[in-house]
Amino acid sequence: MLSYAIRRILLTIPTLIAVAVLVFFVLRVVPGDIVEIKLTAEGGMVSEEEIMSEKERLGLNDPIMVQFYKYMIGLPQGDLGISLWTENNVSSEIAARIGLSFELAVLSTVLAVLIAFPLGTLSALFRGSILDYVIRLLTIGGIAVPSFWLGMLIIMMLLATVGKLPPLGTVGLLEDPLTNLYQLIWPALSVGYRYSSVTARMLRSSILEVLSEDYIRTARAKGVFERIVIVKHGMRNALLPTVTVIGLEFAFLLGGLVVTESVFNLNGIGKLFVDSVVRNDLNLLQGLVLTVATGFVLINLIVDLLYAALDPRIRYQK
């Protein structure tokens, strides 16, 4: 199992290199110029000469292959270059924000799982009942409603009831867990609703599928208690596809918090993504895409390992 994991991790390296190369060149095709934006978007008396010298200083006048060389040389050392906007290390810019996004993603996942598991299971067990229809209605809603819109509804709801929004400025989880939770629970809900809907629906259909399997009939024929049939024989098998969905959704979350973070004014990498696109900060964008890609690859790896833990057929595959 360990060597399998190591091999899988090693295999991600060529993937990430390919992503890095692709990202570099694709981004150079994107129009726009950060120096223009930085110096003249707000106006003022800026001469052409000043713009050129700023470009020179930031290394933007280097031939593209020279820029590429510098970029690729830096990568193995974990050097993602400097942000063209703040001139801080890209890695430090991302590091400052990824924790929040990660926490939000984890919180959303926890919420999603907490909501999805009872809903999906009830819906499957009481298939065709009013309860099932209500749950399916709720979950189809979750898939149909964009999370940012739900986020806006949540904000309006908070304003209408409490009259106040959670304070701005992230409070550390360890520093003040309650405030932290109060700040993050709302965006987590707005993302988690969709997430839980997808998961609940997946769980429902895989439970239904599993419950019609022959081995469930076998278990019943053994005279096993019905709840054991469902929990021990049914759920574990139904979990397999559900874990994939949870993993994929989590991976999407890392890159997909863009809108939610903007709606809730959260300082995560989603917002940084938007900022770097608006400012044309190519170095930062590169770093972000690479980070998200790495996250994707890692989560896929975790899902695969979880799968192996859950399914002996994979564990013992020869």
Partner 1 sequence: MRLSIRSALITVAAVCAVSTSAFAGSHASCPVQGGTLKYGVKAEPPSYDMHATNSYAVMHFVTQHYSTLLTFDWKNFPKLEGDLAESWSMADDGLSYTFNLHKGVKFHDGTPFTSADVKASYDRMRNPPEGVTSVRKALFASISEIETPDDHTVIFKLSSADAFMMDGFASPFNAIYSAKDLAADPAFPVKNVNGTGPYMLDEHVKGEAYKAVRYDDFHHGDNCLDGTVGYRIKGIVEPMVGGQIMAEWRGVAPPERKSLTEQMGDDITFQEKQLMTAWVVSLNSEFEAFKDKRDRQAMNLCIDRHGGLPKLAKITFVAPRPSGFLLYDTKFALPDEELFDLVGYGPDAEANRAEGMRLLKEAGFEGLEFTYSNRAVSHPYDHIAIWLMSEWKKCGMNPNMITNPTSKFVQIRKEGGFDATIDWAPSFLPDPTLMHFKYLSDDKTGSNYSNYIDRELDELFDAQKGETDFEKRKALVHAFEKKALEDAYVLPVTYTDRVVPMHKSVKGFTIAFSHILNNTYRGVYLEN
Partner 2 sequence: MSNIDDKNVLLDVKNLNVEFKLKNGTVRAVDNISFQVGKGEFLAIVGESGCGKSVTALSLMRLLPRIADISADHIKFDGVDISKVTESEMRKLRGRRISMIFQEPMTSLNPVLTIGDQLTEPLLTHLEMSEKEANARTIELLGMVGIPEPEKRLTQYPHQFSGGMRQRVMIAIGLACEPDLIIADEPTTALDVTIQAQILELLKDISSRLGVAVIMITHNLGVVAAYADRVNVMYAARIVEQGDANQIFEKPSHPYTIGLLRSVPRMDKPRGGRLATIDGLPPNLMSPPVGCRFKPRCPLAGDACDNVPVLETQHGKEDHLAACFFTDKASKDGSTIYLAETSTHSSAEINKENPLLVVDGLEQYFSVSFRSGWLSNTSGTVKAVDGVSFEVYPGQTVGLVGESGCGKTSVGRAILHLNKATGGKMQFNDVDLNSNSVALVRQDMQVIFQDPFSSLNPRMTIGEILEEPLKVHNIVLDPQEREEKISDLLLKVGLYPYMRERYPHELSGGQRQRVGIARALSMEPKLIICDEPVSALDVSVQAQIINLLEDLQRELGIAYLFIAHDLAVVKHISHKVIVMYLGKIMEFGEGDDLYSNPRHPYTRALMDAAPIPDPQIERNRVKIVLKGELPSPLNPPKGCVFSSRCNFVTDACRAEMPQLQECGNEHQAACIKLDELENA
Site membership for partner 2, residue 224 (CB under 8 A): yes
DSSP state, residue 168: S
Site membership for partner 1, residue 39 (CB under 8 A): yes
**CA Rg value for the chain:** 24
Neighbours of 38 (CB within 10 A): 18
| 158 binding partner (options partner 2, partner 1, none; Cβ < 5 to 8 Å by kind) | partner 1
Neighbours of 43 (CB within 10 A): 7
Instruction: Determine the Cα–Cα distance for residues 257 and 60; give it in Å rounded to an integer.
Output: 30
How many amino acids of this chain bind partner 1 (CB under 8 A)? Answer: 53
Nearest one of 275, 114, 238, 117 to 188, comparing CA atoms:
114
DSSP state, residue 152: H
- For the record, the structure tokens of 34 come out as 């950060």
Site membership for partner 1, residue 61 (CB under 8 A): no
| 10 binding partner (options partner 1, partner 2, none; Cβ < 5 to 8 Å by kind) | none
Question: Closer to partner 1 at the Cβ: 42 or 214?
Answer: 42
Question: Closer to partner 2 at the Cβ: 43 or 223?
Answer: 223
Among 104, 279, 291, 297, binds partner 1 (CB under 8 A): 279
Q: Which of residues 12-31 bind partner 1 (CB under 8 A)?
A: 30-31
Contact 297, 15 (CB under 8 A): yes
Question: Closer to partner 2 at the Cβ: 274 or 308?
Answer: 308
Contact 216, 229 (CB under 8 A): yes
Alpha helices in 43-89 (DSSP H): 48-58, 64-74
Contacts (Cβ under 8 Å, ≥6 apart) of 116: 195, 196, 197, 199, 200, 203
| 175 binding partner (options partner 2, partner 1, none; Cβ < 5 to 8 Å by kind) | none
| 76 binding partner (options partner 1, partner 2, none; Cβ < 5 to 8 Å by kind) | none
Instruction: Determine the Cα–Cα distance for residues 200 and 139; give it in Å rounded to an integer.
Output: 7
Residue 142 has phi, psi (to 5 degrees) of -60, -35
Q: What one-letter code names the amino acid at 257?
A: L
Instruction: Determine the Cα–Cα distance for residues 38 and 279; give it in Å rounded to an integer.
Output: 8
Please state the closest distance from residue 206 (CB atom) to partner 1, in A: 39
Q: Which of residues 202-221 bind partner 2 (CB under 8 A)?
A: 213-215, 217-221
Select from 126-134, 152-160, 174-182, 200-208 the region that touches partner 1 (CB under 8 A): 152-160
Site membership for partner 2, residue 49 (CB under 8 A): no
Q: Please, is 112 exposed, middle or buried when counting C-beta atoms within 10 Å of its C-beta (0-12, 13-18, 19+)?
A: buried
Please state the closest distance from residue 1 (CB atom) to partner 2, in A: 8
Please state the closest distance from residue 297 (CB atom) to partner 2, in A: 19
Please state the closest distance from residue 10 (CB atom) to partner 2, in A: 11
SS3 89: strand
Give the contact letters, 155-194, x = binds to partner 1 (CB under 8 A), - = no. x--xx---xxxxxxxx------------------------
DSSP state, residue 129: S
Question: Closer to partner 1 at the Cβ: 84 or 105?
Answer: 84
Residue linked to tokens 């009872």: 118
Site membership for partner 2, residue 227 (CB under 8 A): no
Q: Which residues bind partner 1 (CB under 8 A)?
A: 30-34, 36-51, 53-54, 57, 85-88, 93, 96-97, 155, 158-159, 163-170, 262-263, 265, 267, 271-272, 275, 277-280
Chain positions contacting partner 2, by CB under 8 A = 1, 3-4, 7, 213-215, 217-226, 228, 232-233, 236-237, 310-313, 316-318
